[in-house]
Amino acid sequence: MDLQLTVKIVHMISVTLLIAVVIARGFTLFIGVQGNQPNPVARKLFVAGQHLAMTLIILTGLTSLVIKNFAVQPWFYAKVILFLVLFSSLLKAYKKDDRILLVQRRAGFTIAVVALVAIIGLVLIKPNFG
């Protein structure tokens, strides 16, 4: 099998894992919350899954860039910015800090979901900005 195709398959499996973990972990902000903290049930499993998915996405994305000799479409830069928005909003939503209100956590989660949907939309549509 071609290396580019293998990297792409692993990348897409990682994205699927990330979607599943983000949705599952999002329920912890609405069910069984404790004060301003998300539900601690299965926290370690969700954190491990999210870290694994994000790490694989970054590594396979960089590998794909190297294979393609950094030749990318203009929409790729929007995808990277949205990925950074996704990453930072998930950090805000699940940071272990009692000063962060539950409303702020839910807003961070909502921003993360919107960014994730926008990334998927960019990948499916592949707009031509030029």
Write out pLDDT tens, residues 10-40.
999 999 999 999 999 999 999 999 888 999 9
pLDDT value for 9: 97
42 or 61, greater pLDDT:
61
Per-residue model confidence (pLDDT) at position 130 = 66
Element (H, E) at 22: helix 3-26
The per-residue pLDDT for 112 is 97
Specify the pTM.
0.91
Residue 46 confidence (pLDDT) above 70 = yes
Do 113 and 26 touch, CB atoms closer than 8 A?
yes
- Does residue 129 surpass a pLDDT of 80? no
Q: Are 46 and 38 in contact (CB under 8 A)?
A: no
DSSP state of 38: P
pLDDT tens for 57-101 read: 999 999 999 999 999 998 999 999 999 999 999 999 999 898 999
pLDDT of residue 35: 87
Closest CA to 23 of 1, 50, 55, 56: 50
